[in-house]
Homo-oligomer: A and B are copies of this chain.
Amino acid sequence: MRSPIQTYLEDLHRRISNQNSGELASYIPELTKANPDWFGICLVTLDGVAYSVGDSAQTFTIQSISKPFVYATALADQGRDFVLSKVGVEPSGDAFNSISLDPQTGAPFNPMINAGAIATASLVAGDTPEAQWQRIESSMSTFVGRDLSVDESVYRSESETGFRNRAIAWMLKNFGIIDGEPMASLENYFRQCSVLVDCRDLAFMAATLANGGVHPVTGKRALPTEHVERVLSVMATCGMYDYAGSWLYEVGMPAKSGVGGGIIAVLPGRFGIGIFSPRLDEKGNSVRGIEACQQLSHDFSLHVFNQVGQPGMALGRVYSGADAPSRREPGTAMRDCLNAQAHRIKFLSLHGFLAVDGVEYIIRQMQKMAPESHSFILDMHQVTGISESAARLLNQARQGLGAEDIAVVFSRIHDRQFIIDPLSKATHSGDHGFLSFEDNDLAVEWCENRLFGIDASTLAAPSSLAESPLFAGVPEALMRQVEAITKSQSFAMGVPILVTGQACDGRIFFIESGQVSILVPLQNGGHQRIASLGPGMNFGEMTLLGQTTRSASVYADSDVKCLILSTADVDQLSDQAPLLKIALLENLAKDMANKLRRATQWIAALA
């Protein structure tokens, strides 16, 4: 199948290719060498897939599109406050080459006009202009995801003819905005404008901003997250010069254009877009670039303010410990307790990146359920991250519910630092911290024990063969014959009693004392515990149905004593007393019918 996104972009490219108005930039001869028909579009997703059409590999000089990225670098190097003291963030309402300095401070109005950009170039880290240039080049390369180079002839030409920019640089020196040697900063500015990119590079630069400052393919951080919204804000209000209001109104994406014919547009959290077409309108913006952005925004509903509210999205399924009990087989007393109470254990399956709005919704649902709840298990398996503010609120809710004796525990955050760190950071001194379990089964078992008000170990009282549900209905005399053919065996803690795939040797195991886990192998090489059994329970009984290999492994969780019965002995005894086999099969079938009913209920809760 052709991707419909690719098809759409090709259609868009074809439609707009008819648009031939506008002129090449001509203030330096090098720019007039461009083929006016060049036209490339590239859209990059936040998981790093690039859809490209047209002349997407044609390089050109980045020009003013470098400005937001050097501004980003200055913010990363000097921090918000220092940078704001040197360059403002208000739109000037003027053209790109206006001088627009604050009458009081001399600070340029914003970093997107030339004056602001020249000042910004002087702010990046580096003891010498050469070190500053290295910093600019490597920072821009991190945004792009590959090493960049400069078009030396464009650079020389810009440098030789940039008289107005020289005037601006000296003016900035005059006002103390540039500290060092203004002509050296200006040369760096000329070089940054002469960096060669193609529209695919631009789309990746945009996608890195859309992705919170991390390149979607290399995974390298190009900018600390807190500065991303600042760069995008400046692009939104000043990026399109005196067209900013209309641009936000019509297109609704933070954007930046350059006289080389490039344009980038950033959809925070969604896409990065890069377009190249060198014919410019009278404001210096790529004619086809603007047209393509407008149509893309319209056709794909990409306006940044077009956000659909879905507070409930952070919360997936809600179900209870009655739907999904632990896989441990409880004794009679606990089973009665759980039958009556297990609905008071609530599973909440959380989803995606948890921000304040999602967590507010989750907390509200917990508040609603609190009167009938004993504990909440927050299953974090599908959580992709959590903001610090959301972690703080969630932690406060955990404490608040804890004060009402309602436990809130986490499941499936093991080894996932991006969730653990914000949660830990939100835990204050005096708070005992949060409880987390490797899987839902362990979590619900803990909640069940808490509900039953007991320590799990007290459940492990030794038991005799006759008490096993598998022998329900077998008369006492026959039971004695059965006991006569059983053998006793002990297993040390940690020992495998049965192993998946092993041939069935016909042994059925009854636990006298101790605990075992039933484990099934997972595709990733690990194991999943599907049950935990204690005294009075049996395993291996599927051999009664003619099973030829063991379907699960059984490990001794403690020192374990078992009684063992072989199917051959059972069949021999059943020849005289068919009632034995009938009772065993009937009890086995009843047990499976119960398990099946529970499984069906669980599926209904999950689906």
CA distance A564 to B532 in the complex (A): 41
Given contacts A212-B309, A356-B301, contact A233 B254 (CB under 8 A): no
A542 close to B593 (CB less than 8 A): yes
**Residue among A269, A308, A311, A603 facing the most chain B CB atoms (10 A cut-off):** A308
Judged by a CB distance under 8 angstroms, whether A229 is at the interface is yes
Question: A210, A225, A310: which has the most chain B beta carbons within 10 Å?
Answer: A310
When chains A and B are docked, how far (Å) is the Cα of A360 from the Cα of B7?
Answer: 12
Decide if A34 is an interface residue (CB 8 Å cutoff).
Answer: no
Residues from chain B with Cβ under 8 Å of A230 in the complex: 249
Q: Specify which of B91, B228, B305 is in contact with A232 (CB 8 Å cutoff).
A: B305
The CA of A133 and the CA of B123, in the complex, are separated in Å by 54
Known: A233-B248, A244-B237, A245-B238. A370 touches B1 (CB 8 A): yes
B306 touches A228 (CB 8 A): yes
- Closest B residue to A395 by beta carbon equals B4
A28 within 8 A of B: no
The answer to whether B1 touches A404, judged by C-beta atoms less than 8 angstroms apart, is: yes
Q: Which residues of B contact A316 (CB under 8 A)?
A: 316, 351, 382
Residue of B nearest to A584 (CB): B585
Interface check A106, CB cutoff 8 A: no
Known contacts A309-B269, A363-B5; decide if A301 and B389 are in contact (CB<8 Å). Answer: yes
Report A116 CB to chain B, min CB distance, Å.
12
Q: State how many angstroms separate the Cβ of A208 from the closest Cβ of chain B.
A: 11
Stretch from A18-26, A278-286, A428-436, A594-602 contacting the other chain: A594-602
* A306 pairs with B268, CB closer than 8 A: yes
- Tell whether, in the assembled complex, residue A600 and residue B600 are in contact, meaning their CB atoms are under 8 Å apart: no
Assess whether A242 is interfacial by the CB under 8 Å rule: yes
| Bound Cα distance from A590 to B585, whole angstroms | 10
Instruction: Check if A234 is an interface residue, CB within 8 A of chain B.
Output: yes
Q: Name the distance in Å between A550's Cβ and chain B's nearest Cβ.
A: 13
Q: A300-B389, A309-B210, A385-B308 in contact; A91/B1 too (CB < 8 A)? A: no
Judge whether A461 is part of the interface by a CB distance below 8 angstroms: no
What is the bound-complex CA distance between A359 and B110, given in angstroms?
37
Interface size class of A (residues with CB under 8 A): 35 or more
Closest Cβ of chain B to A328, distance in Å, is 16
The verdict on A593 contacting B545 (CB below 8 Å), with A1-B367, A582-B582 known, is yes
* Chain B CB within 8 A of A46 CB: yes
Any B CB within 8 A of the CB of A578: yes
Say whether A530 faces chain B, with CB atoms less than 8 Å apart: yes
**Cβ contacts A360-404/B at 8 Å (1 or 0 each):** 110110110010000000000010110111001100110011011
Nearest CB in chain B to that of A267: its residue: B357
Fill in one digit per residue for A243-281: 1 if any B CB lies within 8 Å of its CB, else 0. Answer: 011101100101000000000000111110000000000
> In the docked arrangement, what's the CA distance between A307 and B400, Å?
29
Residue in chain B with minimal CB distance to A309: B46
A355 CB-CB contact with B under 8 Å: yes
Contact with B along A17-58 (1 / 0, CB 8 A): 000000000000000000000000000011101000000000
CB–CB B578/A582 < 8 A: yes
> Smallest CB-CB separation from A605: which chain B residue?
B606
Tell me the nearest residue of chain B to A588, going by C-beta: B589
Give 1 or 0 for each of A297-320: 1 = CB within 8 Å of chain B CB: 001111111111111110010000
CB distance from A302 to the nearest CB of B (A): 7
Instruction: List B contacts of A306 (CB < 8 A).
Output: 212, 225, 228-229, 268
Q: State in angstroms the CA–CA spacing of A403 and B351 once bound together.
A: 34
Residues of B within 8 A of A252 (CB): 229, 233
CB pair A91–B89 under 8 Å, yes or no, is no
Q: Which residue of B89, B360, B404, B593 is within 8 Å of A246 (Cβ)?
A: B89
A351 to B434, CA, bound (A): 29
Query: CA separation between A590 and B599, bound complex, in Å?
Result: 16
| Complex interface: chain B residues within 8 A of A582 (CB) | 574, 578, 581-582, 585
Contact A299 B269 (CB under 8 A): no
Q: With a CB–CB cut-off of 8 A, which chain B residues contact A93?
A: 90-93
Q: Which residues of B contact A300 (CB under 8 A)?
A: 356, 389
Whether A477 sits at the interface, judged by CB under 8 Å, is no
Q: Please, which residue of chain B has its CB at the minimum distance from the CB of A356?
A: B300
The CA of A600 and the CA of B602, in the complex, are separated in Å by: 10
Check B304–A305 contact: CB distance below 8 A: yes
Question: Which 3 interchain pairs have the tightest Cβ spacing?
Answer: A269-B307, A46-B309, A578-B578
* Apart from A234-B245, A544-B586, A551-B597, 12 more pairs, CB < 8 Å: A1-B401, A5-B363, A230-B249, A233-B248, A237-B249, A310-B384, A313-B313, A313-B353, A546-B586, A578-B581, A585-B589, A596-B596
Instruction: Please give the residue numbers on chain A whose beta carbons come within 8 Å of chain B beta carbons, in ascending order.
Output: 1-5, 7-8, 45-47, 49, 88-93, 110, 210-212, 216, 225, 228-230, 232-234, 236-238, 242, 244-246, 248-249, 252, 254, 267-271, 299-313, 316, 351-353, 355-357, 360-361, 363-364, 366-367, 370, 382, 384-385, 387-389, 392-393, 396-397, 400-401, 403-404, 406, 440, 528, 530, 542, 544-546, 551, 574, 578, 581-582, 585-586, 588-590, 592-593, 595-597, 599-600, 602-604, 606-607
